[in-house]
Amino acid sequence: MSGLIHRFPIGFHWGAAASAHQVEGGNDKNDWWRFEQIPGRIHGGDKSGAACRHYERFDEDFALAAADGHNAHRLSFEWSRIAPERGRIDAAAVAHYHAVLESLERHGLRPLVTLHHFTNPLWIADRGGWENPETIQHFCAFVRFCAREFGSEVDWWCTVNEPEVFAFRGWSSGLWPPGRRDDGAALAVMANLLEAHGLAYRILHEQDRGGAEGRGRTAHVGFAKHLPQLEGDRWWFPLDGLRARLEDAVFNEAVLEAAVTGEIRLSIPGARGVTRSVPELAGSLDYVGLNYYTRWKVHMFARDPHVAPRGAPTTDLGWEIYPQGFERALLRVARLKLPILVTEHGFADALDKFRPRALIESLHHLGRAIARGANVIGYYHWSLTDNFEWADGYRGRFGLYQVDFADPALPRNRTRSAELYSRIAHSNALEPEVAVEVGLAL
């Protein structure tokens, strides 16, 4: 068999993504670590604990990625390590992240650094967290420090990860810290994170040492937006469709619109809305980061309003496997006329049973989106290794490399998905042979 299904653009970012708390281990000075100690909060009573010991084993993990043809890697700097107390910077943590960046460069992996990936130092959480507007300025101080300290080593920045998920999980459903259930507070948190992104965008460009020092490169700044497909479940019950549209308006559309116009307009029936103009937020994306996982069918009146369609294939976490939605999400954000980085995409599959086919089918839809005009410049698979999946604990296994958490050595075991992904990354193309191997006729 000859020919190609898709050839990806020259310079395409092929990589994997992770966040510090989920892989490093020992992050005991943030709000998530404390939340994990509360009985009943994490599935199975799991705790992040040592996680993957990536804090010590980062060079080994980056070597695996480089050998598999990755040329980029998304990571986060743990705020609570760098600033464990108000007004104090931990020199050892700063040196550690310099070593991490040096390792990435040595392995030929372009870093994409996330500055807020769901965790907060305890001194921030204990002062009201992101409900407190003062947190915006504390975060900006952290961003300014990182820009000055690491700016000569980092060109790609992600300010905040999924501000809408962070806000609604922590302040609406109460499943994440601080465990509140107040939709109005969720909207306020979401607005504060969007404002913080706009200010951080300006800081990172003002402090950009790449352009200032004549490296011929400049900072590229964006955020990561979770974009699930939301559809009414029952065609004969119009209120399901109404709820889906209302959720989409605040969860998806309002976030993207705010980063373009600088106007934050967030509202939910029965909750305190937020209307705010933030000049720094207008035009604050050099790229848009897309996190895509699934489609949810929405019920107007249900204990769990978001469900997978009946009979649909699902992941280990019950999320629908819906590659077609990936193409739709890419085309939706393409209307912003910005470069797109797929900052997260993957499948919880402990046995690596359905992931190989789902991954290849999804990358086919990514290629179709590019052919239809979406300016996609990179793809970061979630994740390189199995890790601590927040309230789902160690139940959700997303890794290209499986980790046996029952073994103190925490071995990394390469999956078939990793091998297939490696072939695509090495060739920068999706070839028919790969599709045939997973049973797809593309």
- What are the catalytic residues? 162
298 SS3 class: strand
Q: Maximum distance among all alpha carbons in the chain?
A: 62
Q: How far apart are CA 323 and CA 295, in angstroms?
A: 9
Q: How many CA atoms lie within 13 A of 200 on its CB side?
A: 32
Distance of CA 41 to the CA centre of its chain: 22
CA angle 393, 385, 43 (to 5 degrees): 5
Contact partners, residue 257, CB within 8 Å, separation at least 6:
263, 265
| Phi and psi based region of residue 11 (left: phi greater than 0; alpha: psi -120 to 50; beta: remaining) | left
Instruction: Choose among 6, 8, 17, 11: nearest CA to 292.
Output: 17
Q: How far apart are CA 82 and CA 92, in angstroms?
A: 8
Q: How far apart are CA 281 and CA 109, in angstroms?
A: 30
CA 257 to each of CA 13, 130, 172, 184, 273: distance values in angstroms, whole numbers, following the listed order: 26, 21, 22, 20, 16
CA 176 to each of CA 45, 123, 172, 322, 419: distance values in angstroms, whole numbers, following the listed order: 14, 18, 9, 26, 34
Measured N-to-C along each axis, helices 134-150 and 91-106 cross at an angle, to the nearest 10 degrees, of: 50
DSSP 178-215: T----HHHHHHHHHHHHHHHHHHHHHHHHT-HHHHTT-
What b-and-e string marks burial along 349-367, b requiring 16 or more CB atoms within 10 Å of the CB? Answer: bbebebbbbbbbbbbbbbb
Q: How far apart are CA 270 and CA 280, in angstroms?
A: 29
Residue written as tokens 């964006």? 222
CA dihedral sign of residues 172, 227, 355, 75: negative
Q: How many CA atoms lie within 13 A of 146 on its CB side?
A: 32
